[in-house]
Amino acid sequence: MTTDDPLIKELVGTVVAVQANFYQVQLESDGVLDPQRLLLCTRRSLLKKMGQQVMVGDRVVVEEPDWSGKRGAIARVFPRITELSRPPIANANQILLVFAIAEPELEITALSRFLVKAESTSLEVCLCLNKCDLVSTDALLFWRDRLLNCGYYPLFISVNNGLEYTVNSEHRVIQKSLFQAENTFNENTLLHQLKHKTTVISGPSGVGKSSLINQLIPSLNIRVATVSGKLGRGRHTTRHVELFQLPTGGLLADTPGFNQPELECHPEELVDYFPEAKHRFSAGKCQFSDCSHRDEPNCIVRGDWERYPIYLEFLEVAIAYQEAIKQQPDVETNTKSKTKLGGKQQLEPKLASKKYRRSSRRFQHQTLQDLCEEFKDDE
């Protein structure tokens, strides 16, 4: 399909799943994703040569559609608003971090590791605690106050019972249905947080992420598994990233669960991923601009806040990670910038490095001559 003809509109869609070298693309109708228009696409060779990766969440242009076979080819990828590498997803607006308050038991260090990883993406972070039917009201209030001090307003839910728990002004816990449509208009509900956004669900295995998606989108019926009784941890049920359309509006990305995300950040940036530490900067600043907030004098961050020991622990991990990065060689890009008419810059595929190119016949002939001369000299 050519796009030079103004009467022919581009086929634009969103990649909702990637498996091997094939991409499920949901096409748009009048700017809105249409669940009935789904094509299985490949990637153009030019995109491969340029090293253009196609990710779940990418808005793409599809050419040469085969409507009977429901096939097509991705010809272009629109610029991304956001991009995550783990999990690989583009154009997400927020991260819904799902943890269980029990079974497995909630632990502040493990939770903080996920929170720091989520904060490092620069996406909005929404914290949701599941399995609240297994704990007392006092436990809910304890975790609510504890997480508020950390800078987060948690949502308390029970997917098993279909309930959402809120705390009123009198510190009483109110239960209501989790999946009522009118909840989309209440700011302190899960459905409102998900409406009209592309949300990445993340969290450890076994906390109920797949069960939550099954409740939000009953037609999916994603496989779920129980928590391992031997290890006290969840079992992996989600194997790849996939986008699902919510009935109330928005997209939901289910991601594989993992129990300990890597802290791949610069040590000097780590403090920005602790909201309670950032709040301390409103009262002043450290004496030194490169303060690591450990033992420097007149440090505004160092002090009596609950997660400060966790910050110090993560800081050592971040320093070790950066030292390992320095030992790695630079990665060569697959594209080069070329100036076209009018001074316009355009990216083009770069030829393979010389060490990977096939030797010319002239070079091979010269090499054979050299070998023959060496052989004669040996005689």
Residue 293 in contact with residue 280, Cβ under 8 Å?
no
| 353-358 contacts, C-beta under 8 A, 24 or more apart | none
Q: Which two tokens stand for residue 61?
A: 């242009």
Q: Is the dihedral of CA 170, 171, 176, 182 positive or negative?
A: positive
> Residues at the annotated binding site for GTP?
130-133, 203-211
Residue set of the binding site: 130-133, 203-211, 286, 291, 293, 299
SS3 per residue for 242-257: EEEECCCCCEEEECCC
Nearest in space to 267 (alpha carbons), one of 298, 312, 305: 312
Instruction: Give the list of residues 6+ apart from residue 81 with CB closer than 8 angstroms, or none.
Output: 90, 91
> How far apart, in whole angstroms, are the C-alpha atoms of residue 109 and residue 261?
12
Q: For residues 274 and 301, is the Cβ–Cβ distance under 8 A?
A: no
Selection from 100, 98, 147 nearest residue 118 by Cα: 98
> What SS3 state is found at 229?
coil
Q: Residue 259 corresponds to which tokens in the numbers above?
A: 């129990």
* DSSP notation for 336-359: EEEE-GGG-EEEEEPPPPGGGSPP
Could you list the residues known to form a binding site for Zn(2+), using ranges.
286, 291, 293, 299
Pairing of strands 345-349, 163-167: unpaired
Q: Are 330 and 297 in contact (CB under 8 A)?
A: no
Q: How far apart are CA 58 and CA 18, in angstroms?
A: 11
Query: DSSP letter at 77?
Result: E
> What's the angle, vertex CA 176, arms to CA 171 and CA 181, rounded to 5?
130
As a whole number of angstroms, the distance between CA 23 and CA 40 comes to 6
